[in-house]
Amino acid sequence: MVLAGIDLGGTNIKAALVDGNLKLIAKSSIPTNAGRDARQIIADMAGQVISLADKAGLSRADISGVGIGIPGVAKDGNVIALHNLHWHNVALLRIFKEFLDVPVFIDNDGTVAAVYEYHLGVLAGCNVGVLLTLGTGIGGGIIIDGKPFSGAHGLGSELGHMTLIKDGLQCTCGNKGCFEVYASATALVRYGRQIVIERPESLLHHAAGGDYRSVTAKMVMDSAKDGDIIALRVIDDYSDCLATGIASIMNSLDPEVIALGGGVSAAGDFLLNKVIAAMDGKGVFAGQKYADIRIAKSGNDAGLIGAAMLAK
């Protein structure tokens, strides 16, 4: 049995093939090139799976199913809303099968990653566990009593769209001040670009070659790790925003563990220690036990393997 998992992001489309034991056979990543027609992006998604199969010496008939994690809301194979790509009521399942006619299963990317973490990662054994994926936006996955929780209308895990700041910066969802506007990888890039433009003495400015357009979240994080005082201030502010959102999740759901995944989580203990320090004083009850904050075990592969789990 060979299964495919696709993690559709606002920046990249990641795809993987796994065997029946969910062991990776091959994976790839290509730019999403957001802003294109949905059909073009879906064609690229299917094309990635076909290309991976070809490179692995497999035929299309060898692929038993495809699972797709999306940063939005899906129901019955249709994408109801996917704000980062400006998709609304897109027939993802039907269009995908025009290019690759195999069983296809679709769910929110944060949810499928949380399913992975519950079975194979740091949410294992939790009665209540939460995963935050820190990428182009902020995805969320909630596991309660071993099952993913999505609420009455499929919106229960849209944690990135909690309001962090009243009348704050514009979010792609149409609201202002959302959590992900201040604590996603996109937010780090925005902060970093400002440094490159305004602070030519910074290490980040030199790392970017003076070109603000080349800034990545990793570049900001690495500059802070290397001792750039200006970048460190940005990471401290970023961590405080992330901790503020985490505090709201703790006060709402009281989970045992909150896992940090997605691209930004690759900073590992450097990020984790900053966030834990920023949590100080944010608990409602002094001395009360709150959730452990951990780095997701699987890093960027959680969405891929979690998506493949849908197909299994």
Are 211 and 260 found together in one domain? yes
The verdict on 204 and 186 lying in the same domain is yes
Same-domain status, 166 and 286:
yes
Residue 144 pLDDT class (50, 70, 90 cuts):
very high
User: Among 1-10, 59-68, 145-154, 288-297, where is mean pLDDT lowest?
Assistant: 145-154
Domain total for the chain?
2
CB-based contact 219:207 (threshold 8 Å): yes
Helix, strand, coil fractions of the chain, as percent rounded to 5 = 45, 25, 30
Q: What's the rounded mean pLDDT across residues 1-23?
A: 93
User: Above 80 in pLDDT, residue 300?
Assistant: no
Reading the block at residue 65, the tokens are: 């199913």
Strand partners, 260: 132, 295
131 sits in which H/E element: strand 128-134
Which string of b and e fits 188-215 if b means at least 16 CB within 10 Å? bbbbbbebbeeeeebbbbebbeeebeeb
Q: Quick check: is 119 in a domain?
A: no
Higher local confidence (pLDDT), 258 or 174: 258
**Quick one: average pLDDT of 94-115?**
93
Domain check: are 183 and 81 in the same one?
A: no
Do 277 and 149 belong together in one domain?
A: yes
Q: Does residue 291 sit in the same domain as residue 307?
A: no
* Residue at 272 is within a domain: yes
- Written as one letter, the residue type at 42 is I
Same-domain status, 245 and 287: yes
CA angle 255, 256, 257 (to 5 degrees): 95
Residue 212: domain span: 124-296
**pLDDT (average), residues 116-122:** 91
Q: 134: which 2 tokens?
A: 């820190």
Given pLDDT bands bounded at 50, 70 and 90, which one contains residue 37? very high
Counting residues of the chain whose pLDDT is more than 90, the rounded percentage is: 75
Q: How does pLDDT run across 171-223, given as a tens digit for each residue?
A: 988 899 999 999 999 999 999 999 999 999 999 999 999 999 999 999 999 99
pTM confidence score = 0.81
- What pLDDT, on the 0 to 100 scale, is given for residue 310? 86
DSSP string, 8-26: E-SSEEEEEEEETT--EEE
Mean pLDDT score across all residues of the chain: 93
Q: Are residues 142 and 246 in the same domain?
A: yes
Is 175 within the bounds of a domain?
yes
Tell me whether residue 142 is in a domain.
yes
